[in-house]
Each structure stands twice: as structure tokens, then as C-alpha cells.
Structure 1
Amino acid sequence: MSLDRRVLLLSQGDALYVLPSDGSLRNDLSRARVDLSGWTVRVNPHDEWRQMFVDAWRMQRDYFYDREMHGVDWAEVRARYEPLVSRVTDRAELSDLIAQMVGELSALHMFVRGGDLRTAPEAIDAGSLGAAVERDERAGGYRITHIYRGDPDLPDQAGPLARPQLDVREGDLIVAVDGVSTRSVPDFQMLLRNAANRRVRLRVTSGDATTRDLVVTAVSLRRELDLRYSEWEYGRRQQVEARSEQRIGYVHLRGMTAVDMADWQRNFYPVYNRAGLIVDLRRNTGGNIDSWLLSRLLRQAWFFWQPRVGQPSWNMPYAFRGHLVVLVDQDTASDGEAFAEGVKRMGLGTVIGTRTWGGEIWGSGSNALLDRGIATAPETGVFGPDGLWLIEGHGVDPDIVVDNPPHATFTGEDAQLDAALEFLSRRIAEQPLPTPVAPVYPDKRAPLVTSTTVGSPSLPPQ
């Protein structure tokens, strides 16, 4: 707003508008837009980089949760690193320098990313069919050896070749992509260059030697990674269902965000009445829903409803009454660690796996730099009722340490999941979940009345 309060400068995306403050310009904003199309601005990158370096230093000084900066002489750190700014040749190198500087504080939740980074115009966004293929020279194409498959209850999330209407199966042969023979290239991926999120035409030969053309939409390699993850997650749930004979439930959370809240509700409520539950937080990337999750597990069944027909149910609704195991590993981070520590401290269950990442000084990510890059500042530390800092720099120690050896994990084994199933099976056998049984229904009949205790009623005279 101008000093005389008559004019407003409005920012909307990358556009600027100059408006009268009395609201007289109501409909057509285009008339108030500041035309910047002819503007050119002279920029000295080295001056900008020095400013951003100093800003990053200042915002750590002003945002960091410990005013004493973990005992580090922060002014000396600036004096030591700032001369190196003159040797920086691009924005990525500036990020490297800032990362080294803030690393002197020895705190996690320090992420240096973003900014005015140049991208190559020739960048190629490779596509994927959501499947693994191998060259079959004799057959004349690439054989589909595996199709990544996730939860069948979510058909809209299926990969390109997992769509049921296509009837593509492992063992089928892809002989051409968009009319180009797959034998003509040394690597199948060459035929999917710049194909991400685009439709491609495949010529596929099935096991019965039938050849047909299919049109599918390729996905990005990032989406392929997600498909692989979904298959891993669904496979773990199927293992738990089969090996426990549906006595133990399984919920995996990739993070602790709104999306993961939805995953919890979709996967927890169907199994809340099981005798055991595995909450798998391995590779959990964090967020901020630990208290919401813990509040669900803190619910207790304190009375039961008995309808005329059917089994009793309990209140509080969806209270979990069974035995709980939380799986963690070295990649369980941030709010995933807070949840695991909460389960331990409140005695809700047993934590199995390996020591977690160890980052528990939380930040808002609000200290952005000039070019919208950031070196996040850890702003809020966490300590317990005992007056000791929690988790940061050490992680959460599991109650039972079980590691997944690399080679065994590569071949599909999962020692941590095995340990969780064995522990819960044993605990369920030793401490079975009591089945609520309704008491004998009350007898509310009125007491019998006899003539010896009560006189006969008198009759009116004739």
C-alpha cells in the first residue's frame, strides 16, 4: 500500500497489479496489470550468490532452535567459509558451499535444495511400461519377465501393462514399439525416450503365438519406482495375511502426511479387530501425524454393545485391543521416529528392527532465499518428561534388534518381517485376546402375587 493509502500493489503468481485501494476497480484486472514484458534487469550472479550465502548464514543464526548454536562459534564459521563464495561458478556449487557451512551445526533436518538451477534443454524424460523385460534374440524381441502389480483394490493405480483389459502376461514378447522393431536397438529403453505420460503402440506376441497391437500410456521412471514400491508393500501385506491366517493385520506407511492418513484409514480399519498388528515404518520419510496416529492406538474398549443378533462390538469405536509391533530401520525418519518413540514410551507395543535415522529438531521450511532455494533451519527441538533431548543425533533404539542382510534382502527375504510375525504369534499364544462374552440376560419378571398375601378384591353390592 502506498503511503497515502490510495494505491495497492497486488502480486498474483508472477504478475503485479496496481489497484486503487477503494475497490473501484472490480472486474477487469488486466487493466491494472504492470506490463513487464519490455523490462530487462542486469544481474551480477556473484553478487547474488554472496547475498544468498550471507542470508543463509543469518537465517540459521536467527532461526536455529539453540541460541548458542550448539556451542559453535557461528561468526567464525562465516569468516571461514565466506571467502570461498568468490570461487563459486554456478548455483549448484553455492548449494554445496552452504551445505558444508550449515553442516557445522551437526543437526539433521537441514536440507539445502532448490534455487535458480539451470536445466539442460535436451533433458530426456524416459518412459516405462511398469514391467521388467529381457532381450530374447531367438524369439525376436523383448520378453516380459515381470509386471509390477499393486493392490487390486486400486485399479486406477495399476501400471501400463497391469491393466486387466489388456490381458498382457509375463512371458509375452514385445516385438515393436511405435512401429520400430525392438531388435533394432541394443536397449529396450531407447524406444521409450521422451515417452513418459505419452501413448505408445506396442506389438505383442502372446504365449499362443497370437500377435496384436496395443496402445498404452507409458509412465515416468519416478512412477515406475512407485509401482515397484506398491508391489513390495502389497506383497508384505499378503505374506502377513497368509502366514498368520488373518490373525495379524499389516499397515505400511511411506510417510506421515495427509496421504498417509488416508492409507492408514484404508488399511487399519479392516484389521482393527485382529489379535495382532504390524505397523511398518521402514523407509518412512516423515511428516507430522504421529499424535493423530497415536491417539487412534490409545483408544480403549471400556464397554461392549450386544445386539439381538451377532457378536459384541466395543466402545471406543475401532479401538485396537491386540498386540502391536512397529517395524523400523535406518531409513525411518523424522515423524516416523516420533511415532515409534511414542509407542515405546506409552507402552503400546514393541519396536523391532534397527536404529532409526536420528532427526528430531523440527523446522517450518520458511527461511527461503532470494531465488526460492533454501537451507532449512531446525527450529524446534524435542525433549521428554525426563528433561532429556529425544532422538536427535541418535535415533530410536528398537526393543528387539533385527537387521536385514543385503544379499538375503535382494533375494526377497525379510528377516525383520519374519521376526515381527514370530514375535506376535508367540505373544498371541501366550496372551490370547479375550473374546467378549455377554453376561446372562437379566430376569425382569415381576414377583408372583398369591391370595394368601393379598386379599380378594371386594365386590360392589347387588
Structure 2
Amino acid sequence: MTEPILRDINPSFDPEGKFLYFLSYRDFSPVYDNLHFDLGFPRGMRPFLITLQADQRSPFIAEPKPLVEPEENKEEDSCKEDENVDQMVEQHDGQEQKKKEGDQLVQIDLEGIMDRVVAFPVSEGRYGQIAGIKNKVYFTALPIPGSEEKSRLEMYDLEKHEKETIANDVSGFKVSSNYKILAYRSADKLRIIKAGEKAPDKGESTRVGGWINLGRIKVSVDPGAERRQMYREAWRLQREHFWVEDMSGVDWDFVYDRYLPLLDRITTRSEFSDLMWEMQGELGTSHAYESGGDYRANPHNYGQGFLGAEFGYDASDQTYEILRILQGDSWLEGKDSPLNSPGINIRVGDKLMAVNGRKFDQEISPEQLLVNQAGSEITLTVKTDDPENPTRTVSIKAIGDERSVYYRQWVTQNRKTVYTKTEGKVGYVHIPDMGVKGYAEFYRSYLSEINCSALIVDVRCNGGGHVSQLILETLARKRIGYNLQRWGAPTPYPGGSLLGPIVAITDELAGSDGDIFSHCFKLMKLGTLIGKRTWGGVIGISPRYTLVDGSKTTQPEYSFWFQDVDWGVENYGTDPDIEIDITPQDHMRNEDPQLNKAIEEILVQLEENPPKLPDFGTKPDLSFSGSLPS
């Protein structure tokens, strides 16, 4: 039907048989990145239609029409203005027979159909669904991830040549089979309105407002029957979506029969989860997960408050001495120790005496008094060595999670260690995962660290994802030229390319796309890999199926093959060039032998092949001989 430039998706027929609507990726309008030299296509989509008959004109070209429509051509609307939603639903059922009797064949002229593609006169964007009613077309406009916009349900009127927003914050919609009713979903709510009209301003769960009161739905659940159905469903999903049809030789029917009798012994949801993991574990592959489900909500959800600091109890005066204050990103709320807030002026060596007026003793610690204080304003009574103000009380906001603060402190300390031991010649980048967060963390460091002569890339504890190929592509850039200017230093070509060697550090906690990065770093001969053998799980997933109680299972769908080891990374990982472990004794001494070895190795490489700017030689001489006539 179409000859896509990239991809054509979600086709939907016009109810009158004139057009085929669809969404297409065929708009290429690149946008410059705001942080480094790059271009991207954040939108790229638009609604389109195909005229099904060769003589059907584009509906977007206005045709002359009389100002007043003749009375004999007016069609009487079957849904009166005072008709409510309940009546429309009843009418829908009654019209099914009439619809069947009135069905007609749709003529489709296939010759030249690929040349009859017409774009809707709407802006390029991101779109999710498209469907038509008589003379009108619905489509969902989606926001660019990270923006503050919300998804919208929009309608284009083919007669008025106008687009209007029907409703905001819409995740999906459905048009009834008689094209009279529109149902759409917003978050966890459902609404039914008359098709072709804008959603009423009233937001009640009434006939006028259209919102469905889902609280009226009462479901009686037989846990045993529900678990049996979910067990079968999860087993079937693996059978249909596992990456190879023969299930890698596993007798999947035998596995089903083997675990089925255990269902009768299950008494709790967590036991069912254990059974699911055991059943799917028979596949012997990575990424066969089960998560979520109908668990009771925790009635004791007390948010633990944190101060982003470490303390030691001093029995002499029943205080807690501040031993360390973590340094995070002070410009981001909740990402730094609140003790670093401007004007607080609390330092290492000061002593905490009380939280919210409650004093400590050997039985009461700061952590106990910070229970249920996450995100709350609290007071700290502090004892200092200032003779003029030895005791003072300050107000701060406790943070709800200090893991990101510890992470930033760890990365910053590693970078300082590298700088100190290499005299600033070597840069340091850590990549926590291969998702959006890891990609951001990579460029946060890389754009400044490439100014060093060499680079250490740390992927220890990498949680995986899918962006390894983008990062490897960046690291693989080879410097082949320079751009010289009169008033600045030479800049490399291509931009973002390194001058000297790269060393990577990995470990047994680098998995999935962390495995792939580590293996391909060696395969592409980008540098030396140091650390421990990686996790060994490279059969990817697309989590999209939900079981009846809300839990999810994943099916290993995409198995990675590499030209050097075939399928050998799965269930094994990749070996480093230089194996270095971190022992418990190293942890106790706060030492990092893997990072130290990486520094040692890269200094050797710098000494053996010191990187330096080339001698650009004599600049071009464009002088010419001759003189002006006197």
C-alpha cells in the first residue's frame, strides 16, 4: 500500500471507504543538540492518508460550496442533542443488524496507490494512534520525553479544515463500531463522550461528564484459579516469544507439567512469585523475570530521612560527632547533603546534640529520630568549637534517599585519585548503566575529560540498558586532523576524539548491555580491559505483557552473537585483559586495586607512546610578487 521512507504504522480505514489513515516516520527535521556537536530527530512523525480511489481528491484542498446547504441534502442526526451516553450505548447495540445489512464493498484502486499519499496539514511531532469517523479524524499527539507537555487527543475536521484539541493527558482512545461513541483513557480513568465533539468541561462521573466511576466495579477473585491462569499465561508467553522456536532444546511442555502440581501448595503471592522464577529459570537464560503483582500495600510506609553524612557516637557527652559530610550536586534538590546548604555552616568535627529537640543517648541514634522525616523540615541542635556560639540550632530539609549523593561522592573521589596519580594527564568517566541515566552521566564527564591526554572508562556495577553502541561509537572516533584558528588552541577533527589511549574497568556486576560494552570494547580494540569477568546475560527483552494481577513477566527475545565468540557471552560474560579483584580486606582499607591497576597501565601506555599535538609545519604562503604602479 505504501512505500515508506522509514516506517509506516497504525493503519485505520475511513468509515466511508474513501481513505486509509496511518502514521508515518518520514519527516526529517534535525535539531542541534544544546550541549555538544550533534543533531537529532526528536519528532519525525505526522498523520497521513491514502486516497483509496484514483479519482478521490485530497480532502485538504477546499472546494467551492454554497453558503447555505439545501434542505433536501441535510442528513438528520440519529443522536439528538439531549441524548445521553447511556442511550448512545443502547443505540449502538440496536444498530448492529442494520450495519450488517448496509455493508457495502469498498473500491480500492491499487494502481498508483503509493503515489496517492497525502500528509495532514499538522505540525511534525510524535503521534500514537489514528482513527476516523465521518469527515473527522482523531489522533493522539505525544510529548517529547523529558518535556513538561502532556499527551493530547486531537481531531482534524476534513470539512472545516481545522484541528482542535478534544482532551488533554490522553494515553489511548477507541471509537465505537458505529462511529458514534468515543472512549478515551487518561491516567487510570476512562471517559465516554459523543464522537465528533469536544469533551465536556464538567468532570464528574455523570452522564453529562462522561467519566466512568471505576470504583463501582467489584471483582471477586479466586486466588487459586487466578494463579493457575497466570502460570499458564506466563508459560505461554515464553513459548511464543522466546528468541528461538525450539526453546534452546528445553522440553517446555515437560517444564509446564513439572511445576503445575506445586500450584496447589501455594498459599501466598510471594510463593507464587518463587514458583514463577523457578519455572522460567529452567530456560537457563538471562532476563527471564517476574515482578510486581497483587501484594498488599505496606501500611507502615514511613519515609526514612537522611542527612548525607556519617556519624560516630561520643559517650562522653552523648552526642554524635560528624565524621564525614558527603558532597553531591548542590544545585539539585535532594542530591546533596542538606548540611552543605548555604548558611548552615556545619563542618566535620561538629557534634549533633538533638533532632527536633530530642537528645541522643546510647540507645537513640540520629537515624531513629529521622524516621518518617524524609522531605520534612527539621531542626538540628549542633555543638561546635566556636567559643562565641558553642551551641546553635539550624533548620534543614532531610532528604529521602542518599544513594545518589554517595554515588556522586564516589565518582568525584575516583576522578581526584586519577588526577592526582597522573598529574592531570588522564581523565575519568563512570557509566552506571546503559540507559538514559548512564548516557547522561557519560556525557556529563566525557565532554570535559576528553581534554586530557588519556581516559579511564569505568563500567563497574553497570546495570545494563541499550545505549552501549552509542557510547562505543563515540569512544571509537580516531583523531585524523585539527582545526586551527588565530586566537584559540587547535581543536580536533572529528570533535570529541581522544588524543591518547583508553583503559576500561569492568567487574562481575556489569551485566546485560554492560556485558556487551565490555566485550565490544575489546573486540573493537579500543584499549585494555581491566577487572573481573562480567555478569554474562545478553538476551534482551521488551517488557510489555502484564498478567491479570498487574505483575509482569519478561521473555528473552533478542540473543546477541559476536564474530569472535558466537553466542559465548550469554551465561559466561567477557574476560578482562588483566584480571584484578577487590578483596574484603581492600574494602576495609578503602582501597581500589582495580582503579589503581588501570592508572598504572595507562601511565605505562602514555610513557611508551606519549601523545602530542603534531608539528603543523609551515603555514600556507599566499603572498604574490609585484607592486602597484606609481
1:19-38 counterparts in 2 under 5 A? 19-23=193-197, 25=199, 27-28=201-202, 30=204, 31-38=209-216
In structure 2, the residue matched to 1:75 is: 253
Single out whichever of 386-395 and 84-93 deviates more from structure 2: 386-395
Per-residue deviation, residues 213-242 of structure 1 (Å, max 9, x unmatched) = 11111122xx22332222112110110011
In structure 1, the residue matched to 2:540 is: 362
Tell whether 2:176 aligns with 1:2: yes
Single out whichever of 341-350 and 145-154 deviates more from structure 2: 145-154
In structure 1, the residue matched to 2:189 is: 15
In structure 2, the residue matched to 1:204 is: 382
Deviation at 1:307, TM superposition (A): 1.4
In structure 2, the residue matched to 1:325 is: 503
> What letter corresponds to residue 16 of structure 1 in structure 2?
L
Asked if the contact 1:325/1:352 (under 8 Å) is kept, the reply is yes
Q: TM-score, normalised by structure 1?
A: 0.92
In structure 2, the residue matched to 1:300 is: 478
Single out whichever of 260-269 and 304-313 deviates more from structure 2: 304-313
Per-residue deviation, residues 401-432 of structure 1 (Å, max 9, x unmatched) = 11111211232111100110000001000011
Q: 1:387 to 1:413 in 2, by over 3 A?
A: closer
Which of 204, 218, 230 is the matching residue for 2:398? 218
Asked if the contact 2:318/2:362 (under 8 Å) is kept, the reply is no
1:170-209 counterparts in 2 under 5 A? 170-183=348-361, 185-208=363-386
> What letter corresponds to residue 12 of structure 1 in structure 2?
S
Structure 2 CA distance for aligned equivalents of residues 35 and 226 of structure 1: 40
1:60-459 counterparts in 2 under 5 A? 60-150=238-328, 157-183=335-361, 185-208=363-386, 210-220=390-400, 223-385=401-563, 388-447=566-625
Asked if the contact 2:315/2:362 (under 8 Å) is kept, the reply is no
Residue-pair matches, total: 449
Asked if the contact 2:311/2:323 (under 8 Å) is kept, the reply is yes
In structure 2, the residue matched to 1:48 is: 226
Per-residue deviation, residues 78-100 of structure 1 (Å, max 9, x unmatched) = 11111211222222111111001
Per-residue deviation, residues 181-218 of structure 1 (Å, max 9, x unmatched) = 11284333221111111111111111235111111111
What is the DSSP-based 3-state SS (H/G/I as helix, E as strand, rest coil) of the residue aligned with 2:256? helix
What is the DSSP-based 3-state SS (H/G/I as helix, E as strand, rest coil) of the residue aligned with 1:32? coil
Structure 1 CA distance for aligned equivalents of residues 212 and 331 of structure 2: 51
Deviation at 1:325, TM superposition (A): 0.7
Q: TM-score, normalised by structure 2?
A: 0.68
Q: 1:391 to 1:60 in 2, by over 3 A?
A: same
Q: 1:156 to 1:367 in 2, by over 3 A?
A: closer
What is the DSSP-based 3-state SS (H/G/I as helix, E as strand, rest coil) of the residue aligned with 2:282? helix
Deviation at 1:155, TM superposition (A): 8.4
Asked if the contact 2:454/2:501 (under 8 Å) is kept, the reply is yes
> What letter corresponds to residue 529 of structure 2 in structure 1?
V
What is the DSSP-based 3-state SS (H/G/I as helix, E as strand, rest coil) of the residue aligned with 1:40? coil
Asked if the contact 1:403/1:415 (under 8 Å) is kept, the reply is yes
In structure 2, the residue matched to 1:453 is: none
Structure 2 CA distance for aligned equivalents of residues 153 and 128 of structure 1: 18
Asked if the contact 2:425/2:454 (under 8 Å) is kept, the reply is yes
Structure 2 CA distance for aligned equivalents of residues 246 and 74 of structure 1: 57
What is the DSSP-based 3-state SS (H/G/I as helix, E as strand, rest coil) of the residue aligned with 1:17? strand
Q: Give ranges in structure 1 of 5+ residues lacking alignment.
A: 450-455, 458-462
> What letter corresponds to residue 9 of structure 1 in structure 2?
A
> What letter corresponds to residue 393 of structure 2 in structure 1?
D
Higher percent of residues as strand: 2
Alpha-carbon RMSD: 2.2
Single out whichever of 59-68 and 206-215 deviates more from structure 2: 206-215
What is the DSSP-based 3-state SS (H/G/I as helix, E as strand, rest coil) of the residue aligned with 2:539? coil
In structure 1, the residue matched to 2:84 is: none
In structure 2, the residue matched to 1:452 is: none
Asked if the contact 2:285/2:570 (under 8 Å) is kept, the reply is yes
> What letter corresponds to residue 340 of structure 2 in structure 1?
A
Q: 1:26 to 1:402 in 2, by over 3 A?
A: same
Aligned identity (percent) is 33
Asked if the contact 2:432/2:441 (under 8 Å) is kept, the reply is no
What is the DSSP-based 3-state SS (H/G/I as helix, E as strand, rest coil) of the residue aligned with 2:605? helix
Deviation at 1:29, TM superposition (A): 5.5
Structure 1 CA distance for aligned equivalents of residues 275 and 583 of structure 2: 36
In structure 2, the residue matched to 1:460 is: none
Asked if the contact 2:435/2:466 (under 8 Å) is kept, the reply is yes
Structure 2 CA distance for aligned equivalents of residues 152 and 315 of structure 1: 35
Asked if the contact 1:312/1:437 (under 8 Å) is kept, the reply is no
Structure 2 CA distance for aligned equivalents of residues 242 and 390 of structure 1: 39
What is the DSSP-based 3-state SS (H/G/I as helix, E as strand, rest coil) of the residue aligned with 1:167? coil
What is the DSSP-based 3-state SS (H/G/I as helix, E as strand, rest coil) of the residue aligned with 1:201? strand
Structure 1 CA distance for aligned equivalents of residues 450 and 554 of structure 2: 38
Higher percent of residues as helix: 1
Structure 2 CA distance for aligned equivalents of residues 381 and 421 of structure 1: 34
Asked if the contact 2:429/2:449 (under 8 Å) is kept, the reply is no
Q: Give ranges in structure 2 of 5+ residues lacking alignment.
A: 1-174
Single out whichever of 210-219 and 357-366 deviates more from structure 2: 210-219
Per-residue deviation, residues 350-409 of structure 1 (Å, max 9, x unmatched) = 110000000100001112212221121111001023581141100011111111112112
Asked if the contact 1:199/1:216 (under 8 Å) is kept, the reply is yes
More relative contact order, 1 or 2 (CA 8 Å, 6+ apart): 1
Deviation at 1:106, TM superposition (A): 0.7
